[in-house]
Amino acid sequence: MEKLSTLLTSLEPTSDRMGALEAVKPALSSLSRQELVDGLRDVSLLPVFDCLNSGETTLVQTACSVLTHLLSFTDPALVLERYGGLMMRGLTHPDNSVVLLIMKQLSRCVLDDELALLVVQRDMVSTVLEKLDSELEVATEVFGVEYGVFRLYWVGLLAETPAGLPALSKAEVVAQLQGIASRSSILQMRVLDMMVRMATLGEEHLQSVLNTGFLQQLISILHTDDFLLKLNCVDLLTILAMAPHGQKYLESSGVLTTMTSLLEDCPNHPLADILLPGLVKFWGNLAHTRPLHIMTKYPAFLSALVNMVQSEDFTAQSIAFETIGYIGVSLEGKTALVEMGNKMVECIEKLEMLIKDSPTEVKIRAMNALASLIKLDKENQSPELLSLTEAWYRRVPSTMSLVTSIVKQPFLDLRLAAYQLLMVMVGQPWGRGMVMRQPGFCEFLMDRSGERDKRGREEKFRVVEAIVESREAKEILGPDMDMQMRLFVKQGPHYVQVQSQVAYEGE
């Protein structure tokens, strides 16, 4: 830490500040994380912050990199106490690297209820919200940023603290957000996006957002002629509908009635091909959580799905089947689809054509949809449900021959979708029988040379492993094949047989 202190004290405007900054990380490389945490408590980073005032872009960005590294080892309470004023000024810095650095530190702060209160008391909320009117990389730190499958955002983190929700709902902040939204349609959607995500956090959050009037503003867009805004509105309502309390609000406020009208009128819209997928996604999410209620009470959704399946448009068909599979993956969803009667049977029969003759992406979606429809966990395998999944499978009579062909093709994504379908099949007695009775197929599954990709080998292995665990191979395939499959499973998916060679004298 002495070397760090020396480097930091050398960060004078007249010195080689770039050289000193570049030497910081190597100087700390030999220290453990705990040594860094303990040591940085007694080190002032003000000289590094001062570098952010430079007019040299390279120096500013290097200082940001160093601060990002050092602050990650510093307690957020200490960061806010020592550098809170500097961070406030940093939020208005012309370089986005500085603003992003500050936003990440403020996100760490609002994870703690007491620190969130300090952020509110220091009037930092309004300054952060003004960043909605910035370039997208900065604005998304405020209203939404992706981390894998999760979406975290500063306002959402703050809103989940006791001090955060009241601060974001007070009149001055609402007026500020209305002002930002009025500047352009892009900023309007950023503000509405932020408020919708806030509303999904809980009943109390929904009520607070309702009190601001922003949800009502969002819903009013559905009645306008602005197509792009309407499209964005449908996407945001889909997010709100994913929360149970959001669904309840949408139904009680009459929004679902409006969405039904949009769905019914969609075929007459000049841009129906763009609008319809968003509407189907909205209804599909609702039907996934409450299939019987939605399918029964809102028949327009069912009619739209059937029409999409019967169209000649591959994209429309794949979206429809993806939605049907999403609904039918649950037991209640399967029951709701059975209530469709012949319409459901006719839809499933269309899957065969898509798996057989369509673009690769559509084939993958079709196989995934069929896998979702016939998926049945072991604890739910009653005679009635097993009979249902088998009956649906048999409506696509060439499935087995198609799948055995697809797993031999050189396209990994296709093969993985086929293996997923096979896994669903071998999870049920009727499916295992079909797979094992397919001539030569179990031998193919045990041929490691036929699958060079690691993920492919592992999925292939899982199919064989499921067959072995069922203890049915001996009866259907005979004791010899049963022993081979058991050995295959014991050796694992990546087993490589060693070829030994013996050299003879005179060779």
pLDDT tens track for 34-50: 888 888 888 888 888 98
What one-character-per-residue DSSP string does 196-244 give?
HHHHTT-HHHHHHHHHHTHHHHHHHHTTSS-HHHHHHHHHHHHHHHTSH
Of the given ranges (98-107, 161-170, 490-499), which has the lowest mean pLDDT? 490-499
Per-residue pLDDT, averaged over 477-501, amounts to 83
- Residue 505 has what pLDDT? 58
Task: For residue range 186-214, list pLDDT tens digits in order.
Answer: 999 999 999 999 999 999 999 999 999 99
Give the pLDDT confidence score for residue 344 in this predicted structure.
86
The pLDDT value recorded for residue 1 is: 60
Q: Cα–Cα distance between 168 and 143 in angstroms, integer? A: 13
Q: What is the mean pLDDT of residues 302-317?
A: 89
Strand partners, 146: 151
Q: What is the mean pLDDT of residues 441-445?
A: 91
Q: Phi/psi of residue 152, each to 5°?
A: -110, 145
The length of the chain, given as a count of residues: 507
Q: What whole-number distance in Å separates Cα of residue 442 and Cα of residue 461?
A: 11
pLDDT per residue over 217-236, tens digit each?
999 999 888 888 999 999 99
pLDDT in tens, 460-474: 999 999 999 988 888
Q: What is the per-residue pLDDT across 3-14, written as a single tens digit (0 to 9) for each?
A: 677 777 767 766
Higher pLDDT, 2 or 134: 134
Instruction: Report the percent of the chain where pLDDT is more than 70.
Output: 95
pLDDT band at 215; cut points 50, 70, 90: very high
User: Tokens 């002495």 label which residue?
Assistant: 2
Give the sign of the dihedral formed by CA 239, CA 298, CA 385, CA 318. negative
pLDDT at 367: 94
pLDDT in tens, 340-391: 888 888 888 888 889 988 899 999 999 999 999 999 999 999 999 999 999 9
